[in-house]
């Protein structure tokens, strides 16, 4: 038994820790205290913790507070954490102390013990101390908020924004490919006046483009780091230059414009930047939900639905119906969007729990925010590459539906008046005939005028010129 465990001590007494674990007493206590969900901090967050601890070692060395040898060992160990080498040594549940102190200490213990291991020492000996050396100049109360910002900024810049730009690019490509396709517009899911497919898709592209702008607009607030505020924002036990130098060191390491928080009390008491970003992610999710549902409707069929497009056939759609193919990528996207919207509720509620000098919902804010970023990034890329890029257009069916759409009678309103146009539409519906043919019988418009006025492409190109407008007499129009 003694070969499988080691005994460590913290301020509360002795704790039995797995003999080969890099974590120590405080991590073990948290593992035992919080057997709640099985959810762990994700890789981006642990990466951010490693980057912060490596920067702290360098900054404290440069400030003359940490000797060269310890600083070098701590930095090496912290870099290994950032690179993902020791993710299995972060076993603590997300649902823990609201400050994330358990996870900060988890990082401190892993880095300290790995540094000891590198120098050939004994695990748990604390010759490199998790608090005194690894956590020097820091508190969980400024480390965890900073890790949220660093992790989120990195994930947004490295994954989410590139994925959204890829989706935007693919949509613009489809705009160019479908400008010759005039289809039936729909409002309230009912037939409306014609629209070019390129125009419809351009609306999707604009949604994604504006989503990119919205997310980019949050980044300046996300770039502010709480480091240097320590326990309550006053900077107790940190060098006066620590916060500024830490932000500069992390900025240099990542190539991102991190800066010291403009107000440390706000940076630790609140999580407004995380709430803001989550809100923008929710907006993007709403946009992508709309696009995904449009794709599902347009793909519906192939016989009894709209069948305007055919999404790529990626997998069999039914365990009982042979030949069935389902719109699996848009369906996956709608579920992602629902999850992101739910995550935003949690982040928003979490942002409200800033009691005096500290927010106490930091772990769950971190988990939900980072999950939303990851889900949207992955799903946007999948939607671009496996749905948008490969769908084909059923041009013949679309053209036939446009020709038989009585709503195109709207184009005759300026010439014959609304009431007369309504009579034509009603008769066309009832008889299953084209508006053009019914209008020829019910008005004195020539075949050439009807061809021009009811040309589907022309109906997608904006307002009438005014040349064809003849004010209808009171009580009716030209007939």
3-state DSSP assignment of residue 259: strand
Residue 140 CB-density burial (10 A; 0-12 exposed, 13-18 middle, 19+ buried): buried
Q: What is the spatial distance between Cα 335 and Cα 352, in angstroms, rounded to a whole number?
A: 26
188 is catalytic: yes
What are the structure tokens assigned to 139, written together?
């508190």
Chain centroid to CA 73:
36
Radius of gyration of the chain from Cα atoms? 31
> CB of 274 within 8 A of CB of 152?
yes
Catalytic residue among 11, 188, 262, 465: 188
Side-chain half-sphere CA neighbours of 391 within 13 A = 31
Helices 362-383, 328-352: inter-axial angle, 10-degree rounding: 160
Pick from 235, 72, 476: nearest CA to 246 = 235
CA dist., res. 309 & res. 445, Å (int): 35
Give the burial class of 398: count Cβ atoms within 10 A of its Cβ; 0-12 exposed, 13-18 middle, 19 or more buried: buried
Which residues on adjacent β-strands are paired with residue 354?
A: 359
Residue 410 contacts by C-beta under 8 Å, 6 or more apart in sequence? 193, 421
CB atoms near residue 415 (< 10 Å): 22
Q: Where are the alpha helices (DSSP H) in 178-271?
A: 197-222, 242-254, 264-269
Integer Cα distance of 192 and 203 in angstroms = 17
Contact status, residue 128 vs residue 141, Cβ threshold 8 Å: no
How far is 308 from 285, CA to CA, in rounded Å? 24
What letter does residue 351 receive in the DSSP assignment? H
Copy the structure tokens of residue 210.
């504006």
Is residue 239 part of the annotated active site? The answer reads no
Nearest-5° Cα angle at 163, 272 to 378: 85
Choosing from 37, 125, 220, 318, which is the catalytic residue? 318
Residue 116: both structure tokens together: 């000891």
Three-class secondary structure of residue 200 per DSSP: helix
Active-site residue numbers?
188, 318
């Amino acid at each position: 038994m003694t070969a499988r465990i080691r005994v460590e001590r913290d301020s509360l007494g002795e704790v039995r820790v797995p003999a080969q674990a890099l974590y120590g007493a405080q991590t073990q206590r948290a593992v035992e205290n919080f057997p709640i969900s099985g959810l762990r901090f994700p890789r981006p967050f642990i990466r951010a913790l490693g980057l912060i601890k490596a920067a702290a070692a360098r900054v404290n060395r440069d400030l003359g507070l940490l000797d060269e040898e310890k600083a070098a060992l701590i930095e090496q160990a912290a870099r290994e954490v950032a690179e993902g080498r020791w993710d299995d040594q972060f076993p603590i549940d997300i649902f823990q102390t609201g400050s994330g102190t358990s996870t900060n200490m988890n990082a401190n213990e892993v880095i300290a013990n790995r540094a000891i291991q590198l120098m050939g020492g004994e695990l748990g000996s604390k010759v490199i101390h998790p608090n005194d050396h690894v956590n020097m100049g820091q508190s969980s109360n400024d480390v965890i908020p900073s890790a949220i910002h660093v992790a989120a900024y990195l994930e947004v810049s490295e994954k989410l924004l590139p994925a959204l730009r890829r989706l935007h690019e693919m949509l613009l490509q489809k705009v160019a490919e479908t400008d010759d396709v005039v289809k039936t517009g729909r409002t309230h899911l009912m037939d409306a006046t014609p629209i070019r497919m390129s125009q419809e898709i351009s609306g999707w592209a604009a949604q994604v483009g504006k989503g990119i702008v919205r997310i980019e607009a949050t980044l300046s607030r996300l770039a502010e780091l709480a480091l240097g505020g320590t326990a309550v924002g006053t900077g107790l036990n940190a060098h006066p230059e620590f916060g500024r130098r830490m932000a500069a060191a992390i900025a240099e390491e990542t190539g991102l414009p991190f800066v010291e928080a403009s107000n440390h009390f706000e940076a630790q008491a609140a999580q407004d930047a995380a709430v803001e970003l989550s809100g923008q992610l929710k907006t993007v999710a709403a946009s992508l939900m709309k696009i995904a549902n449009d794709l599902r409707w347009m793909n519906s069929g192939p016989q009894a639905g709209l069948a305007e497009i055919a999404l790529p056939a990626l997998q069999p759609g039914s365990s009982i119906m042979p030949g069935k193919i389902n719109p699996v990528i848009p369906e996956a996207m709608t579920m992602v969007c629902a999850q992101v919207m739910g995550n935003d509720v949690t982040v928003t509620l979490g942002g409200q729990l800033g009691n005096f000098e500290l927010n106490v919902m930091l772990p769950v804010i971190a988990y939900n925010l980072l999950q939303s970023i990851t889900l949207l990034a992955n799903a946007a890329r999948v939607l671009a590459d496996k749905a948008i890029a490969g769908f084909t257009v059923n041009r013949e069916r679309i053209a036939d539906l446009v020709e038989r759409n009585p709503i195109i009678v709207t184009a005759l309103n300026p010439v014959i008046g609304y009431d007369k146009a309504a009579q034509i539409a009603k008769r066309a519906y009832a008889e299953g005939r084209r508006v053009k043919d019914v209008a020829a019988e019910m008005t004195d418009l020539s075949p050439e005028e009807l061809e021009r006025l009811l040309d589907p492409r022309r109906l997608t190109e904006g307002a009438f010129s005014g040349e064809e407008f003849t004010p209808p007499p009171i009580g009716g129009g030209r007939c």
